[in-house]
Amino acid sequence: MKDIIRSIASLPRRQKQIVLVLMDICVLPLMMWLAYAIRLARPNVQVMQGLDAWYIYVGIFGIAIFALLGIYRAIVRSFNEDYLLRILIGTFIQIVVLYSIKKLNVAFIPMSIPLMYGFMLFSYMWWSRAVIRYATLKTFAKKQSRKRVAIYGAGLAGQQIAAALNRSDDYLPVCFIDDKKSLRSQSLSGLKIYSPQKAQTKLGKFGIEEVLLAMPSVGRARKKEIIESFDSADVKIMELPGVTQLVDGQVQVSDIREVDIIDLLGRDPVPPKAELLEKNIKNKVVMVTGAGGSIGSELCRQIVKHQPKLLVLFEMSEFALYSIDRELQASDIQIIPVLGSVTNQPKLERILQQYAVQTVYHAAAYKHVPLVEANPFEGIYNTSIGTQRSVDAAVNQNIETFVLISTDKAVRPTNVMGASKRMAELYCQGLASTNPKTQISIVRFGNVLGSSGSVVPLFKKQIAQGGPVTVTHPEVTRYFMTIPEAAQLVIQAGAMGTGGDVFLLDMGEPVKIIDLAKQMIRLSGFRAIDENGIGDIEIQFTGLRPGEKLYEELLIDAENVEKTDHERILKSYEKYLSFDEVLKVFEDLKDNQMLLCKLKLILNKYVDGYKL
């Protein structure tokens, strides 16, 4: 029996799905017959009288409903509440259809049959998957019921976690993996130490389910190499937290966690410069617009660490404002939450004057490319006009520093969202050329991991559901940075400005989105389905969305760039419009009766790279 289970479990994912479909298509008509037999208390019954070949309809319709709900896409070993809910919905739909058939007199169906069939169908779907999962786990389980783990790193942290795992009920350490030649073929704490190459051949033999990275001080670049070395192995990668979290010198099982996706960037953050972080913040009144957004909220978290006199949160989303305000109230900094839109210049000026604001970080903007593409006027109004009114309010109130947070999508944009950001940049550059008392700077960077709209949370959700993971195009690439690093660099770049500056954050190497998807699937302990149909989770290509580019750029003119005192911040010298010219353009953009074609003509004329 175990050999049969092993042979089925080793089949490609497509063939496993076919096995499940064939099993269900045979059992569903049997369930219907059984409902009639129990209802009429005899085996010789006419099922769904009046509907010839009823068993074909019952089987095919049932399979189609479950297939549409993703029952056959989900991985049986990830059997969870979401999976059960889908089965329940599919069962309910079939009950409703049976009552509809009865009502329409298509076939003879006693009133109790749909409910009886539904109960038996749900029970069968639930228990069949539970039995498959149990039998699979039992077949592949070793003598111990604990997860078999290989520990990568035979140092102090590795030894401590091995001792902790031996005492736990959940994990069983099987061996060590270490790069040091002097440790190879040695034993430590009763566990043999293998080289990474040797260990690859032993993982399957030893039934190892997880590889635990016990190197808390290793850099991201090295960690990325290690993770990638296990691409061909059917194991999940876990890790211990950073060395700063292990200051007590005692590693515990509870310290084990999934590998952070930021490690796939392979780049270690640069320590921030304290003098730049504090220049525009310490003992000053600071305001953040869009304070509840991904970047805005992280800016607020970083700002309160550097002792401002007062922090004003300006946000138009009530829930987002409530969330960040509640979070920051735990600090000893006075927080002022203000509900409002950046397009309301009189209110902005009143708030700036009332609290004597000295530094403004303007993070408010619409940023979802397809949504702005579908709502271009709102995108222009909120992002471009909103920035104009925000910076005008700051200049009118003689604010010391105004920092516009921009995006790489503003460079030769193919979408309205990027064009709206470039128009905002042009206005700030034009206004800065008039030498106002306010120091105006622009900071431009790419995607941040974990922000709203980021692919990372979407991929995590899709993987948890058993796939498919959706990627727009096999060649699409993006720059990525963590939210905390981006926020720190924004603050430091703003402190380096002299007026009209365009700062670029060094985003490292661009990442292929399909590679990111495959790595996330691997880190979750699954394999992406390859061209031979072997694997667990499918990657689907959905096509580029309206206005989406294959790749993003940070520079409009690559020639006019210079380094700054910070190795991750560059300064760009780009052409811009005179203030009189850009002011006239913005007067046209405010026209409420403007046609879409006219709006796009304006963007086409003034935004480099934008095409109709």
- The catalytic residues are 409
Cα separation of 325 and 517, whole Å?
34
Cα separation of 5 and 581, whole Å?
74
Cα separation of 475 and 457, whole Å?
20
Cα separation of 221 and 269, whole Å?
11
Residues 120, 125, 126, 132: what is their CA dihedral angle, to the nearest 10 degrees?
130
Residues 520, 523, 526, 528: what is their CA dihedral angle, to the nearest 10 degrees?
30
Burial letters for 37-51: b for 16+ Cβ neighbours within 10 Å, e otherwise?
Answer: eeeeeeeeeebbeeb
Q: Is 567 helix (H, G, I), strand (E, B) or coil?
A: coil
Cβ 21 vs Cβ 10: under 8 Å: no
CA-to-CA dists, residue 76 to 121, 122, 238, 291, 611, angstroms: 17, 16, 22, 42, 48
> Letter for the amino acid at 177?
I
CB neighbourhood size of 314 (10 A)? 30
Burial level of 344, CB count in 10 A (0-12/13-18/19+)? middle
Tokens of 153: 């790193």
Cα separation of 17 and 390, whole Å?
56
Helix, strand, coil percentages (3-state) for the chain, rounded to 5, are 45, 15, 35
CB neighbourhood size of 232 (10 A)? 9
Beta bridge pairs of residue 540:
470
Tokens of 236: 């999940």
> Letter for the amino acid at 520?
M
